[in-house]
Amino acid sequence: MDNNVLVILIVVVVNIFLLIFVAMISRIKKRKNFDQHLTDRVLNPKFVESLRDEIHRTIERRVEESLTNFSNTNLSMNEQLKLTSTKAAADFLQNSTKKIENIYAEHADKLSTMTLDAENVLAAQVDKFTQQINQTSAVAIPAQMEKLVIQIQEIQNRVIPARVNDFENKMSEMSLELENIESDISNYLDEYKNQVRERISKIVDEHAVEVLSNYLNASLSGIEFGEQQDFILERLEQNKIALKNELGA
């Protein structure tokens, strides 16, 4: 083999090795940059924790506001119901309060479930994207990284309002149920008042007959028809023993 050809081959081989070496150095640098970026933006526990805290704070604030409104409505109903002094109304109040407590408990459970759901969704999405990142080639990592961040932000923007909207819908349903209960109470009280009026009317009628009968049989019959003496003597005779015990000594 000619010496010149041999030299050319050696130079080519050396250049190939140099190119491979440079490419490896470049890949290692990109990998290090990606690892640093991943640590700072996504896999950083503080970042994930801040997202979770934000979800908690948002849900808790909305739940607290809604429960405060619900509590105020409940207190207002209690004040209204306290105005009634009958036992029947008290029983009705007790049943209504129990019903309200059940609704409250039901929605409290729902709220708790919703919070857990939101956390689970977030955790699942983080796990999913972490797996995707690990499976992605180094070349696509930066773009995937940006996509991941955008998706996490979308999750934050989509999931939380959706849950809050769901919660608001539930609270609207609960408010509607409370209005129905309030309407039922109002109807019941009206019916109860009518029953009391009817009862009083009936009693007055019955008692009026009794008083009139006594008046005619005992009072007027003795006085108006000249039998006052008999009437008084009958009453004295009626209390004879007591009179004798007190005055007869």
Partner 1 sequence: MIKNTVLPDEVFSIEQLQTVLNEIDQYIATLNRKSQTPSYLGLLTKLIIEANHIVELNTNILGDLRNSLTKLIKDTSHLDIRTALPVLPNVQMRINDWVKNNVSKEVLLSFKTDHTLLAGVVIQTPKERYDHSLRNGLVSGRKYLVDEVKG
Under DSSP, the state recorded for 220 is I
What minimum distance in Å lies between the beta carbon of 87 and partner 1?
A: 8
What minimum distance in Å lies between the beta carbon of 78 and partner 1?
A: 24
- CB of 114 closer than 8 Å to CB of 62: no
> Between residues 127 and 210, which has the closer beta carbon with respect to partner 1?
210
Residues that bind partner 1 (CB under 8 A): 196, 199-200, 203-204, 207, 210-211, 214-215, 218-220, 222-223, 228-229, 231-233, 235-240, 242-244, 246-249
10 Å Cβ neighbour count for 148? Answer: 22
What minimum distance in Å lies between the beta carbon of 195 and partner 1?
A: 11
C-alpha pair distances (Å), 109 with each of 3, 72, 113, 232: 87, 20, 6, 77
- CB of 110 closer than 8 Å to CB of 170: yes
> Between residues 54 and 210, which has the closer beta carbon with respect to partner 1?
210
Under DSSP, the state recorded for 136 is S
> Between residues 187 and 217, which has the closer beta carbon with respect to partner 1?
217
> Between residues 89 and 181, which has the closer beta carbon with respect to partner 1?
89
What minimum distance in Å lies between the beta carbon of 80 and partner 1?
A: 23
> Could you give the CA distance from residue 22 to residue 27 in angstroms, rounded to a whole number?
9
What minimum distance in Å lies between the beta carbon of 58 and partner 1?
A: 53
Angle, helices 228-238/240-247, rounded to nearest 10 degrees: 70
Instruction: Give buried/exposed letters for 86-121 (b at 16+ CB in 10 A, else e).
Output: eeebeebbeebeeebeebeeebeeebeebbeebeeb
> Between residues 183 and 228, which has the closer beta carbon with respect to partner 1?
228
> Could you give the CA distance from residue 28 to residue 43 in angstroms, rounded to a whole number?
20
The one-letter code for the residue type at 233 is: L
> Between residues 177 and 237, which has the closer beta carbon with respect to partner 1?
237
What minimum distance in Å lies between the beta carbon of 241 and partner 1?
A: 10
